[in-house]
Structure 1
Amino acid sequence: MFVLFLIITGLVCVNSTPCSRDESLNITTGITFENGSVLYDGLEYVDGTWYVLDIDGLDVRFGCPCIGRRCLWKCCGIGQMFLNRTCADVDVSEANPFNPPVFKGRDPVNVIAHLNFFYMPRQSCEMYLVDSNSPVEEIYLQENGSLLEIATNRPQWHPPRMFCLDMKLDHSSPKSRLVGGVCYPDSGSNDDSPGLYIAYGIGLMLSVPFLLATFLVYAFIPELRNLHGMCLMAYCGGLIVAYPFLAYLKLHTGRVGVAMTGCFVIGRNNF
């Protein structure tokens, strides 16, 4: 059992990374030093704050700049802002540098954003727009990098990785204003790593023989086939049938591998 624990722990550790992809930057072209640190774009990534992934047969190194730093996700690139609905290079003070006001709650604080935050590129999640020019919407960037959104007098707090900010200029206002893109809750949830899915599947499959042994003991000993024993047998029987299918799904992360008709048949039979 201890050896199995070590194997499962190893699988989880092998597939774990120090940060998620949305919190990572591609630093493959950075300079690697003997102590394991990587220097990229003037920023040092010490050993343990970067990782390597195999992408299309190539080793790509990713750094985690948000470890030990406050990160702020910028909707457009550096030196860009929204012109109408698209990001464009601009030469205006609002975007060079991007320096949104910082608050504590709804009270402004004397914090310079571009010195306090490390700007990250926009997340990959689907977003909805929050416009500070709207009469029913307000956004307040907090000192810790979170966002306070007030829509129709209802406050909502968003963690740093769930939104991006930038300036926007269009025909609806003569001046640029701050806008935010907020990830939809479903698309922003963190998923378990593939290693954990494998560990779940192995654990489920290892449970089946013991459930089967329990079922057989109660089935072959007449003294145990009372009401309590029959209920326990029914419970174990249901788990014996369900666990292999659940383990199959856990071991096939990202794809089911069963046709839709097969899914319907399995679901109906299990139910």
Structure 2
Amino acid sequence: MHLKRSAAVGLCALSLALCVPSRAVIQNGTLLHFEAMNNASFATCQGSRAEFCVRTCCEKGENVISRKCAPSSTDWAPTFLNQTTTANLEIIGGFIQECKFGYQLKTLSFHIDESTKYLLSSSGELEVQTAENTFALGFNYCFFNLEVNDQILESVRSCVKISVPQVAGLPSIDSVPSVSVRKCCPPDQMMGVSKDALVCVNRSSPWRPAVIHSYPTQLAQLPAEKTNISDPGKFKCPNGTSMQFLIPSASKDAFFLMSNGNILLARYNLSIKPGLFCLDDLRNPTSAPQPFATVCHTMPKQRTPKQLEAHCTDEVCVQKCCAAGFRLHNSQCVPTTLRWKPTFYEGERLFRGQVAHKVLYGQINCDDGEIHVFNGSRSATPLLQKNGGLRVNGTVYTFGVHRCCIDSGSIQNLPASLNSPGHTLAFCCQPHDKEAELMEIVKKILLIMSSICLFVMLAIYMLVPCLRNIHGKCLMSHAAALFAAFFFTVYNQIVPVEEGPSCDALGENNATVLYYFHSCIEVISSNADG
């Protein structure tokens, strides 16, 4: 299977970011803060006879639908508990409350990280284990259950203390006159999500970004008198860069505004200069806004196959789609901590010898053809050959040297098994076949001419009564069926219909009109015999 290249970057992670965890429980109209709760009171679920308790971000009987808590007939049963435990489980609806300064909303889910495990004690305390950390959340959590197509995507929300990276040489906030920062939206607005698109929406409170400063590095709110908002609401990524959206709660990419005006992507120790990012808040339908950033990463220059050949005369060259330290997400390059190394094949077999090669960076310039994306599924696995070419296992596609770039990455909306950051993707340029394109044009012209002739013949037979005998009616039926089939065929070639209901309907129409013709022939023939 291969996918057409798309520049659209999905916003699925935003849906998982728009619920703030509760720090309290409502039971019979009484607000019980965690500080006032003890294990015994939670163990008995505030008076119920259940052996286990678990907290949800929405009220009991509600799930998150379209980024808001809403009543639902789809009941949630924790997937990490066995049936015996679930039968003795009390689900308590949460109370949405914002995280205090110095803490951030954290999303923990095996839909984001497959290594995530939930450990629930009978007291109701929760521990979440990931490949990198163990979070002892205690009672400070709620389960955020996102309902999509009658299925529930389970994740945990909690206020987690922000780990401030230590950066040497940062000036103290007291020693700088101001910190200049680009705001993504105008001063009286902030970011919001509408129909899976980012838009600017009104806000009621002033924007106060957090900033790290001094050494040892500390986190503080930037004073209003030292906040210099430059050119708000007009941010666009420069040409030759790749855009990335950052939400600390929905990804591992925590970012920090520094007192020198740069931002730091802590996971990658990557500093982004002014002009390549904007900051703002992201509106949350149920609670306080969350920090949000748009970051522009410099992309390697695209090269045509002929330009690549000039760089590789006597050695095997491998084209990596993104720069070193970056990987693909859809068609965009984003930072990564994974180290990339090409794997070579001989046909479909892994080549275990050493291949002397040179790595070039940048995607293929395909002005003379069409880009195909191979996602590494079993039916379309890109295999880098030891001569630098690429073979797509399970398909008829074979690409010569300098026709593909290859990298690790992920594509949104693919299954998790195909979407790990280290998964192999290939972007390949298929040159246009000029002879085949000419034949397609001739075919369309002939089909259009045939449709016109069939329509004219059908009109003549309808206007001349003496032609409408048994044989004439058979011919009219045949002409009508062929005209409809030709019309839909020409329409599909001029206005391509993607696979799906529309394509199925088009095929059914063609089949129906041809079946109609043969049915008419049988009816007319039987009448003639009678």
Shorter-normalised TM range: 0.3 to 0.5
TM-score w.r.t. length of structure 2: 0.21
Structure with the higher strand share, 1 or 2? 2
TM-score w.r.t. length of structure 1: 0.40
Query: Which structure is richer in relative contact order (CA contacts within 8 A, separation 6 or more)?
Result: 1
